[in-house]
Structure 1
Amino acid sequence: MTRCRLCGSATLASVVDLGATPPCESFLAADQLDEPEPAYPLHLRVCTDCWLAQIPPLITPEETFKEYAYFSSYSTSWVEHARTFVADAVQRVGLGADGSDAFVVEVASNDGYLLKHVVDRGIRCLGIEPSVNVGAAAREAGVPTLTEFLSPETGSAVRAEHGPADLVVANNVYAHIPDVVGFTQGLRALVADDGWVSIEVQHLLTLIEENQYDTIYHEHFQYYTVASAIRALASGGLALVDVELLPTHGGSIRLWARPAEVAGEPSRRVADVLDREKAAGLQELSGYAEFSARVAKVRRDLLRFLVEAAERGETVVGYGAPGKGNTLLNHCGIRPDLLAYTVDRNPYKHGRFTPGTRIPILPPEQIAADKPDYVLVLPWNLRAELTEQLSFVHEWGGRLVFPIPELSIVEVKR
């Protein structure tokens, strides 16, 4: 990487180098285990002009998202998060309040987990989802879905066919596109001239503060502060008017934007978060200086625990096979001798193996059958939900292990 993808600056500074890993969602079938597996550098840098944190675009979205292993509906808490968002957004934007034909578009709509709540309210909507398999699942669930990547051309075509959108939702996608400017222009093409755009994306502030380095992977091309998001939105003619701090994904920001011509002054919350980011040093190199050392400690602590458990003859298995888990497993060099297997609720992953580390992925019922001593929870961001789901490991004295932000071993109680 020689230039910033947002502002074109050549002044990029290293934040953390995680070596080389396979794409995090490239799960292996059994007949692929003897085949070569490509790996790509995973090196996070920050632009010292616009402060957008980013990794090189070594793989394309087309390689990742045409056939995708992640289905949002398998997370109970995430579906509830979407339901609450829709209820609040209907009130905030006033969708259909005046009897008009309101229209909502979600970009990267996955399996319809969010828009199904819009459909239930009788509001006209459309999902734009590039993955063929999850888009098909959305249509089966009754959510109108277009199989496309968003571009300025796609946005204009949707607007011409369906009319401008009163609300455009882009949750957990703004980090997934290397062409930040083109994607933002696509959002502007979709939204009505007096409409709203809502974007949820992980907050770089919590990523740095909470050692959440496993959310760095090849699907995520950039990592936003509110300051860098303001600049990214402006590249497409949008202006930030409000921001919410969310607990999702370990700490996210919900950006409320409007066309620049009607946006007006941003809320006090925008200024407050900008002040927090500045106080954390995220607009100077000092804010990033210790991150690499703290990442290395997470790796050492987890490996020490796994090695010592193996030497005591204790069994450790995993729960979940998320993308973030594959960054962690590969960075730590964890193999089946230290983690016998992991389980996942998504049947798509059953019988497959984690990329790079070749750890088997089994159905969740395997944990109760085997009664392991420890369960390493890889989607640590769902800690409350999964602690409840895994409460049954208390029956044989099993314990849960959370690797991020620091190693935590928890005795589960009913």
Structure 2
Amino acid sequence: MTRCRLCGSEAMASVVDLGATPPCESFLAAEQLDRPEPAYPLHLRVCTECWLAQIPPLITPEDTFSEYAYFSSYSKSWVEHARTFVEGAVERLGLGADSFVVEVASNDGYLLRHVVDRGIRCLGVEPSVNVGASARDAGVPTVTEFLSPKTGAAVRAGHGPADLVVANNVYAHIPDVVGFTQGLRALVADDGWVSIEVQHLLTLIEENQYDTIYHEHFQYYTVASAARALASGGLTLVDVELLPTHGGSIRLWSRPAEVAGEPSRRVAEVLDREKAAGLQELTGYAEFSARVAKVRRDLLRFLIDAAERGETVVGYGAPGKGNTLLNHCGIRPDLLPYTVDRNPYKHGRFTPGTRIPVLPPERIAADRPDYVLVLPWNLREELSEQLSFVHEWGGRLVFPIPELSIVEVER
């Protein structure tokens, strides 16, 4: 990568190099196991002009999202998070029967179904054919499109301007930051609001969350770099909320520049935190690569020692972040014979690169392993409750991030 995709600068500095991995959601069917599997470099760099952290756009969103393996509704905590957001947005913005809400990357309608339940007109803009169909089956109006300025203008022309545009966990997934932001501006009413949730680079660095670096995520935002990205499309950041989701996220509230006004005090407070952490200079990134290497060593040491003792370790979950971790650590079925997932789409498939089988969750109770390696560590509370039954045979849970943690399960 020679130029920043936001500001065009060539002043790019390395943050961490994770080698080469397949796209994290490209699960393999059994008949694909004897075929070549493409892998792409996964090297995070930061622009020292605008401080946007980014990876090279070696795959396109079309490669990843035309058919997608992730369905948001399989996480109870994520559905509840969406319900709480909708309740708060309705109150904050005074949304009602005459309002119009658009969600970009609406997945299987996990969020907009709460809007539908309130009798508010809405539309999902979802690029994945399979999950968009699932949303429509659930009663959520959805069009199958990637957002661009042209798409945004077409939706606005056909459905009217949106009082609220929601873009949760998608702002990192698009290589054309400027074009996507212009698409958001095309969708939103001239006096409307745009709400974006995206992982916070501050917590990614501080909490060693390197497994959230994968090819679907083209960039990683601080509030400072996000404000600059929003401005590129005619939007102004007016407020920010710090969220616990995905290990630490930011909710960015923005409006068209003409009506935005002054940003809230919370914006200034988070900007000060980012500056104090050194994220607007290279010092804030200096030790990250070494801490990433320690996660790899500690996890491999645990798995190898468990195998030498004749103890069994299986996985729970098959998230994208888990595939970054498995590939970076070089974990294969000899150390992790399988993982399980609640999403039936993944059952009978194999993790990209590492070729670990994905099975239904019931397999854990049947096999009674000594340890369960929890790959979606960001759902620690929810999954600790779901997996409380492993206490019956003295099993323990293992969380690899931010550092290796082996915990007894309480009933």
The Cα shift of 1:340 comes to 1.1
Aligned to 1:187: 184
* 1:81 and 2:78 correspond: no
The Cα shift of 1:96 comes to 1.9
The Cα shift of 1:401 comes to 0.1
The Cα shift of 1:206 comes to 0.2
Q: Give the match's secondary structure for 1:338.
A: coil
Runs of 4+ in 1 over 3 A off after TM superposition: none
Report the Cα distance in structure 1 between the residues aligned to 2:204 and 2:12, rounded to whole angstroms. 19
Q: Give the match's secondary structure for 1:375.
A: strand
The Cα shift of 1:233 comes to 0.2
The Cα shift of 1:327 comes to 0.1
RMSD: 0.5
Report the Cα distance in structure 1 between the residues aligned to 2:92 and 2:63, rounded to whole angstroms. 37
Report the Cα distance in structure 2 between the residues aligned to 1:361 and 1:193, rounded to whole angstroms. 47
Q: Give the match's secondary structure for 2:127.
A: coil
Report the Cα distance in structure 2 between the residues aligned to 1:389 and 1:238, rounded to whole angstroms. 41
Aligned to 2:337: 340
- Please list, as runs of the form range in 1=range in 2, the aligned pairs for 1:34-183 lying within 5 A after superposition: 34-96=34-96, 101-183=98-180
Write out per-residue CA displacement over residues 186-237 of structure 1, whole angstroms, 9 at most, x where no aligned residue.
Answer: 0000000000000000000000000000000000000000000000000000
Report the Cα distance in structure 2 between the residues aligned to 1:394 and 1:119, rounded to whole angstroms. 40
Report the Cα distance in structure 2 between the residues aligned to 1:358 and 1:69, rounded to whole angstroms. 16
Q: Give the match's secondary structure for 1:105.
A: strand
- Please list, as runs of the form range in 1=range in 2, the aligned pairs for 1:357-372 lying within 5 A after superposition: 357-372=354-369
Report the Cα distance in structure 2 between the residues aligned to 1:413 and 1:199, rounded to whole angstroms. 36
Write out per-residue CA displacement over residues 217-261 of structure 1, whole angstroms, 9 at most, x where no aligned residue.
Answer: 000000000000000000000000000000000000000000000
Report the Cα distance in structure 1 between the residues aligned to 2:266 and 2:23, rounded to whole angstroms. 36
Report the Cα distance in structure 1 between the residues aligned to 2:52 and 2:40, rounded to whole angstroms. 21
Report the Cα distance in structure 2 between the residues aligned to 1:96 and 1:105, rounded to whole angstroms. 14
Report the Cα distance in structure 2 between the residues aligned to 1:3 and 1:70, rounded to whole angstroms. 31
Report the Cα distance in structure 2 between the residues aligned to 1:395 and 1:410, rounded to whole angstroms. 14
Q: Give the match's secondary structure for 2:272.
A: helix
Q: Give the match's secondary structure for 1:167.
A: strand
Write out per-residue CA displacement over residues 26-69 of structure 1, whole angstroms, 9 at most, x where no aligned residue.
Answer: 00000110000000000000000000000000000000000000
- TM normalised by structure 2 equals 1.00
* 1:271 and 2:291 correspond: no
Report the Cα distance in structure 1 between the residues aligned to 2:218 and 2:380, rounded to whole angstroms. 25
Report the Cα distance in structure 1 between the residues aligned to 2:321 and 2:335, rounded to whole angstroms. 18
Q: Give the match's secondary structure for 2:133.
A: helix
The Cα shift of 1:87 comes to 0.2
Report the Cα distance in structure 1 between the residues aligned to 2:126 and 2:167, rounded to whole angstroms. 11
Q: Give the match's secondary structure for 1:233.
A: helix
Report the Cα distance in structure 2 between the residues aligned to 1:358 and 1:23, rounded to whole angstroms. 13
Q: Give the match's secondary structure for 2:108.
A: coil
Report the Cα distance in structure 1 between the residues aligned to 2:179 and 2:95, rounded to whole angstroms. 27
Report the Cα distance in structure 2 between the residues aligned to 1:273 and 1:335, rounded to whole angstroms. 40
Report the Cα distance in structure 2 between the residues aligned to 1:238 and 1:265, rounded to whole angstroms. 13
The Cα shift of 1:159 comes to 0.5
Report the Cα distance in structure 1 between the residues aligned to 2:331 and 2:93, rounded to whole angstroms. 47
Q: Give the match's secondary structure for 1:111.
A: coil
For these two proteins, the number of residue pairs brought into alignment is 411
Report the Cα distance in structure 2 between the residues aligned to 1:19 and 1:262, rounded to whole angstroms. 45
Once the two structures are aligned, what percentage of the paired residues are identical?
A: 91
Write out per-residue CA displacement over residues 87-130 of structure 1, whole angstroms, 9 at most, x where no aligned residue.
Answer: 00001111128xxx100000000000000000000000000000
Aligned to 1:411: 408
Write out per-residue CA displacement over residues 294-320 of structure 1, whole angstroms, 9 at most, x where no aligned residue.
Answer: 000000000000000000000000000
Write out per-residue CA displacement over residues 128-165 of structure 1, whole angstroms, 9 at most, x where no aligned residue.
Answer: 00000000000000000000000000000010111100
The Cα shift of 1:365 comes to 0.1
Q: Give the match's secondary structure for 1:42.
A: strand
- TM normalised by structure 1 equals 0.99
* Unaligned stretches of 5+ residues in structure 2: none
Q: Give the match's secondary structure for 1:7.
A: coil
1:252 to 249, 254, 271: 249
